[in-house]
Structure 1
């Protein structure tokens, strides 16, 4: 009786595992079978991602709409706070992070990156009415805001140390940092150059770039995916779509629409 009960329980357990098992061990196949690709981004990062009266728009959306067409699936866009995105990707809450992620050697050890979609060199913005910070080195001994958990934070931290010290204040979103800068609670805000240039273009009466506007080594933004065998074909398909957009002019058109220019971008993922 006990043996029969044990066998019955084992068979039920095996059946449950079979039901729970994924349809395949290939993410691209799963995405195509589902007819959708589930994404994560922070919709408070203009001009890449923003909410306009509750509607998601921006350069990232325009780019990924086109990638989704190439994959033959519908995109599912989710507004996820940046600090939760990389952990969420690792546990499979979504298929890809389309928030612009700065490619760094440390991240490349853990995640697979798509081809660069934009320049991500770090820069500084100041209050237009103040000349306390006119060039990057002027932030020595001052208070600078930056979005928490970003590569720009690490670059600002290293640059501040080289200047003898900078007080860094972290924010959940860049919008919060910009608000404090406008209110006089910060001396500058560090961020990627495209974001800061877009901010100054649209709010030049309030904000201005330092001269020069950037510091540190050139960096690039890309989309992050899981780095495993199951995701390899999905990563390759995303990159193939991006290359096609380079070749047929869609990448240039979208860059010029949102950034005002189309900078040259690598056609390969930068090596560590």
Structure 2
């Protein structure tokens, strides 16, 4: 055998090994082997994610506890600032982002989304004693707070440009925005309808929804995985669990526990 043929054969073998390794890469198999799913969320986003005397709770946790059980592994929950979550996912610091992320066309190009877990349509809340603001267009000439880096921010920005003369103030967390609204430093806060409904339900003496509260196109929250072939089986396992939980009533029970109502959700990932 010539040296040329030996080198050629060795190179072919290495290439084949590389292709085999790529074909065998499977995030779900790795997760099952480890016995855990490492997650990231922002634990300051009631009612989905909250810290109650240092204990993590909320709608997201109830849903994901059940999903992880269906898959047969333990969830590991991490409190990560929202702005660091998607970048951290991309460099594989964790397996999945379970902070509710609004599905958008831009994000669909970059990430794999699970089935929706809740409505995410952007809405407005004001101080309970504010009779000047009623409908969404009344924010013209006003200052509105919103969490930075969110789809709700982008929708508020577009709506503000349409109305003209709307000052937008960005916050690291929704809790900070609510505090400034309660203190009179803001005229309103924009956020998803479930978050604001929960806020008003628990602090009706301080906050009130606009009428109507919603002003954007219908949107949905979901969880986010990396967009690669390795994640396909993992995404399917999560979606299968969510569909099973929808069919047996667990999703409805969890929604009603945290939101006070049930909204039927799409059984496919929306295209926008």
Residue 155 of structure 2 is matched in structure 1 by 155
Residue 26 of structure 2 is matched in structure 1 by 26
Counterpart CA distance in 2 for 1:156 and 1:46 is 20
Whether 1:70 and 2:70 are equivalent positions in the alignment is yes
Runs of 4+ aligned residues of structure 1 deviating over 2 Å after TM superposition are none
Counterpart CA distance in 1 for 2:100 and 2:271 is 18
The Cα offsets for residues 215-257 of structure 1, whole Å up to 9 and x where unpaired, read as 0100000001101001111011110110000111110110010
How big is the shift at 1:132?
Answer: 2.7
What is the RMSD computed on CA atoms of the aligned residues?
1.4
Counterpart CA distance in 2 for 1:49 and 1:129 is 28
Residue 209 of structure 1 is matched in structure 2 by 209
Counterpart CA distance in 2 for 1:35 and 1:25 is 17
Say whether the 8 Å CA contact 1:132–1:187 is kept in structure 2. Answer: no
Residue 91 of structure 1 is matched in structure 2 by 91
Q: TM-score, normalised by structure 1?
A: 0.91
Residue 219 of structure 2 is matched in structure 1 by 219
Counterpart CA distance in 2 for 1:242 and 1:124 is 29
Residue 58 of structure 1 is matched in structure 2 by 58
How big is the shift at 1:264?
Answer: 1.1
The Cα offsets for residues 167-213 of structure 1, whole Å up to 9 and x where unpaired, read as 00000000000000000000000000000000000000000000001
Counterpart CA distance in 2 for 1:170 and 1:264 is 31
Tell which deviates more after alignment, 127-136 or 37-46.
Answer: 127-136
**Structure 1: runs of 5+ lacking an equivalent:** 1-13
**Structure 2: runs of 5+ lacking an equivalent:** 1-13
How big is the shift at 1:165?
Answer: 2.6
Residue 5 of structure 1 is matched in structure 2 by none
Number of equivalenced pairs: 253
The Cα offsets for residues 43-69 of structure 1, whole Å up to 9 and x where unpaired, read as 000000000000000000000000000
Whether 1:190 and 2:190 are equivalent positions in the alignment is yes
